[in-house]
């Protein structure tokens, strides 16, 4: 089984621009979660999607949004980029079954905002 795939691997943007990150979960997984990882703040939960619906949301501003498609693939969008948005963005998939909650992470997208 292929793992979680995130694209692109690296991204450089300037302040004020917007960016879209993509995540393809493991086949059969219906839940996709997004996390922001920075050296100072650790792993911060952004949101979780299950069957195309946002199921949980972290404490991030509205500039951060996401969606999930019918094939479970997910995208995350950040608008009006700020320098502080520079981070590793990790996507994780899981079956979405309460009996099997372990997350499988992708390699992440390293975003640099200049």
Partner 1 sequence: GQQVMQIPQYQHVQEGEDFTTYCNSSTTLSNIQWYKQRPGGHPVFLIQLVKSGEVKKQKRLTFQFGEAKKNSSLHITATQTTDVGTYFCAPRGGNKLTFGTGTQLKVEL
Q: Which residues bind partner 1 (CB under 8 A)?
A: 33, 35, 42-45, 55-56, 58, 90, 92, 101-108
In the bound state with partner 1, the residue whose beta carbon lies nearer, of 9 and 63, is 9
User: Is the Cβ–Cβ distance between 112 and 13 less than 8 Å?
Assistant: yes
In the bound state with partner 1, the residue whose beta carbon lies nearer, of 70 and 100, is 100
Least separation, in Å, of the C-beta of 107 and partner 1? 5
- C-alpha closest to that of 26 among 67, 74, 77, 87: 74
Contacts (Cβ under 8 Å, ≥6 apart) of 105: 4, 90, 91, 92
In the bound state with partner 1, the residue whose beta carbon lies nearer, of 79 and 88, is 88
């Amino acid at each position: 089984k292929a793992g979680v795939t995130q694209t692109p691997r690296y991204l450089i943007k300037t302040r004020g621009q917007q960016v879209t990150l993509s995540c393809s979960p493991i086949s059969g997984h219906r839940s996709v979660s997004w996390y922001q990882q920075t050296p100072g703040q650790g792993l911060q939960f952004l949101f979780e999607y299950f069957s195309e619906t946002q199921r949980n949301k972290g404490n991030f501003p509205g500039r951060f949004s996401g969606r999930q498609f019918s094939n479970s693939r997910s995208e995350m969008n950040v608008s009006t980029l700020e320098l502080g948005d520079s981070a590793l963005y990790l996507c994780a998939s899981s079956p979405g079954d309460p009996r099997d909650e372990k997350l499988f992470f992708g390699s992440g997208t390293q975003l640099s905002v200049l």
